[in-house]
Structure 1
Amino acid sequence: MATTARTLWKGAISFGLVHIPVALYTATQENELDFDWLDKRSMDPVGYKRVNKRTGREIARENIVKGIAYEDGRYVVLSDDEIRAAYPESTQTIEIETFVAADAIPFVYLERPYYLAPLGKGAKVYALLREALFKTGRIGVARVVIQTKQHLAALIPAGPGLVLNLLRWGDEIRSWENLDLPEEGSHAEGISAREMKMAVQLIEDMAGDWDPEQFHDEFKEKILQLVQAKIEAEETEAVHPIESMEQARPTADIVDLTELLKRSLDKRQGGAGSTGGRPARGGKTRRSA
C-alpha cells in the first residue's frame, strides 16, 4: 500500500472473539471524461438550478423538503431529523456473519471494492485470516457502516491483502425468470457433441492470462488525442467561472451529510471519518488481485 494513500475509515474486522484493527482505502479511481456545459454564445459556464418542475421557477434551499412517492402523485414527506434518526449506528466494525465458498457470490452482486490494511499490532492476525481464507477457499460475508450507510460486503483475500467488496442487497438484483432463456445443460436447444467440442476448442485457443493493461478505453483515448491536437493548434476558448454560480452548486443533501459526518467524528475515539464514493470485479479467490 502506498504511503500516500488516504485513509477513508479506521475500524476492525470482527469474527468470533477475534478483532483485527484495519484501515480502509479506496481500490478504484474514476478516470471518466468530464464534459462541462458552456454557453456557445459567450463561453460562460452553464450551471444547475433547483427548479419547480411545474412553474419553472427556481426554489430556495429552505423551501425544499424530501418526500418518498408511495403511489402516483402521492408522497410521504420526511423531515431531516426523521431521516437522520434512521441512519444506522456507526460501530467502526466489519462484522463477519458467515463464511461462504469463494465462488458462491455471483458477479452481479459485486458493487465497489476497497483495500484493507492492518493497523498497529494487527499484522499477524490479518495475515492469519488472509491465509486461512486462501486455505479454505472461502470468503467472509459481513455488514459494515460507511458514510452513515449500512452495506453488505464480502471480505476477499487477494494476493498480499484483503479486499472489502461492497455487495448489492438481494432486493436490488432483478430476477431473470421472465427472460426468454434457453434451458440449462449441454443438450439445450439441440446442441450436438461436435458443436460443443468445437466451441470448447475455440475458447481454449483464445484463452490467456488476465492482463488489464491490454484493454483501453478507446473513446477516451481518441477524445484526449483530439483535445491535445486542438491545444497544439491553439483552437481553445477562454472560460471565466462565474462566482455566484459556483456558490450555488452545493445541495441540501451535501450540507446535511457534512453536518452528520462531523457529529459522527466528534463521537468517535481513535477513528477517522469516511469520505468515499460507489462496480467491481470478483469471483474465485486467487493469489493475484
Structure 2
Amino acid sequence: MHTVWKGAISFGLVHVPVKMHSATEDKDIHFRQLHKDCGMPISYEKKCKHCNKEISPDDIVKGFEYDKDKYVIVKEEELLAIQPSSARVIKILDFVDLTDIDPIYFEKPYYLSPDMAGAGAYSLLLEAIKQTGKIGIAKISIRSKSNLAAIRVVDNCLCLETMHFPDEIRAISQVPNVPAVTEVNDKELQMAITLVDQLSEKFEASKYTDEYRVALTELIEHKIAGESIDIVNAPTAARSNVIDLMAALQASIDATKPQPPSPTKRKRTTKKSSEKIS
C-alpha cells in the first residue's frame, strides 16, 4: 500500500512514528477526450494568452487573484517559510466522543501503520482509544495544507479522517427554501415513523454497490470485445405534481411489510413438528 505521508503522532509527550496510507480508492471510470475523425487523444497545452506562446513548467509561478485580473505572486520559499514546524507531526489536541461530531465535518479517511520501532507506542495508543471509546482530534499538514483530523480505531488499525474546519462548513441559513418551522400532520408522521421502522436494518456496507459503474464496466468490456450494443431507452414513469402523502405512505408500508410464509411452507413445518413429538 502506497505511503502518502510519513511522520509521527504525538499526544502529551508520547511519540508514535507512523506511515499514512489512503483508505479509499477511486473506482470511477475516467474517459479521455479523443478527436472524432482519427480517434487520437486531445492534448491540453499550457499557453499564455498575453504572450500567445506555450509555457514550460519552469516558467509557471503561483498567484492569488485578489481582485478581477489582479494577482499577487507567492514564491515557493515564502510558502515553506510559513509552513508550521509540526509539518511531520500529527498533534492530538483533545480526545472526544465520536457521537459529538456531526458527519458533515468528515472528509477523507487514511490508514496509519507503525513506522520503524514504533509498534509498541502504536499499540498503546490503539488500545487506549479502543478501551476509552474516545477519538483523538488532531492537526496535520498534508501537501502544504493544514487539516483538522480525527484519529479512531477501525478493526485493529488506527484510522485518520481529515475534517473540515468549522469556517469551511456553510451555514444552514444559506440553504434556500428550508422551512423555519416544521409543521406535519400527526397521522402522516406516525405512518412515516412506521415506514422508517420497517425499513430499518443493521448497516452492512457489502450490500451496497455502484450499479452504474458495474453497468458501465460491462458496456466497455462488450465494446472491447467488438460486440454490438443495442440501445434500449428505459421507460420513464409519468409523475404527477400532486402528491397524496397518505396514499404514498400507505403503499410504501404495504410494500415493505414482512411477507407471511406460504401455505406449503407452513404445512411442511407442521409435519416436521408432529414427527418430532411422536
How far residue 53 of structure 1 moved from its aligned partner, in angstroms, is 4.3
For residues 114-137 of structure 1, give each alpha carbon's deviation from its aligned partner in whole angstroms, at most 9, with x where no partner exists: 111234554444344333334433
Within the candidate set 13, 16, 23, 1:17 is matched to 13
Match of 2:178 in 1: 181
Match of 2:143 in 1: 147
Q: Structure 1 92/201 Cα, relative in aligned 2: closer, same or farther at 3 Å? A: same
How far residue 193 of structure 1 moved from its aligned partner, in angstroms, is 4.1
Question: Is 1:203 aligned to residue 199 of structure 2?
Answer: no
| Aligned residues: CA RMSD | 2.5
CA distance in 1, matches of 2:199, 2:145: 42
CA distance in 2, matches of 1:219, 1:129: 41
Q: Structure 1 98/40 Cα, relative in aligned 2: closer, same or farther at 3 Å? A: same
Q: Structure 1 201/122 Cα, relative in aligned 2: closer, same or farther at 3 Å? A: farther
- 1:91-240 to 2 correspondence within 5 Å? 91-119=87-115, 122-179=118-175, 180-183=177-180, 188-233=181-226
**What is the one-letter code of the residue matched to 1:177?**
S
Q: Structure 1 104/67 Cα, relative in aligned 2: closer, same or farther at 3 Å? A: same
Q: Which runs of 5+ in 2 are unaligned?
A: 229-278
CA distance in 2, matches of 1:91, 1:73: 33
How far residue 50 of structure 1 moved from its aligned partner, in angstroms, is 1.0
How far residue 165 of structure 1 moved from its aligned partner, in angstroms, is 0.5
Q: Which runs of 5+ in 1 are unaligned?
A: 236-289
- 1:275-286 to 2 correspondence within 5 Å? none
Q: Structure 1 6/63 Cα, relative in aligned 2: closer, same or farther at 3 Å? A: closer
Question: If the length of structure 2 is used for normalisation, what is the TM-score?
Answer: 0.71
For residues 228-268 of structure 1, give each alpha carbon's deviation from its aligned partner in whole angstroms, at most 9, with x where no partner exists: 11222268xxxxxxxxxxxxxxxxxxxxxxxxxxxxxxxxx
Q: Percent same amino acid at aligned positions?
A: 36
How far residue 86 of structure 1 moved from its aligned partner, in angstroms, is 3.2
CA distance in 2, matches of 1:85, 1:21: 25
**Which stretch shifts more, 67-76 or 7-16?**
7-16
Structure 1 or 2, whichever has the larger Rg, is 2
- Number of residue pairs matched by the alignment: 227
**Which stretch shifts more, 129-138 or 67-76?**
129-138
How far residue 9 of structure 1 moved from its aligned partner, in angstroms, is 3.1
**What is the one-letter code of the residue matched to 2:182?**
E
Match of 1:246 in 2: none
The SS at the match of 1:219 is helix
**What is the one-letter code of the residue matched to 2:72?**
V
How far residue 36 of structure 1 moved from its aligned partner, in angstroms, is 0.9
CA distance in 2, matches of 1:82, 1:122: 34
How far residue 88 of structure 1 moved from its aligned partner, in angstroms, is 3.3
Question: If the length of structure 1 is used for normalisation, what is the TM-score?
Answer: 0.69
**What is the one-letter code of the residue matched to 1:85?**
A
**Which stretch shifts more, 73-82 or 189-198?**
189-198
The SS at the match of 1:189 is coil
Q: Structure 1 30/13 Cα, relative in aligned 2: closer, same or farther at 3 Å? A: same
How far residue 154 of structure 1 moved from its aligned partner, in angstroms, is 0.7
Q: Structure 1 55/42 Cα, relative in aligned 2: closer, same or farther at 3 Å? A: farther
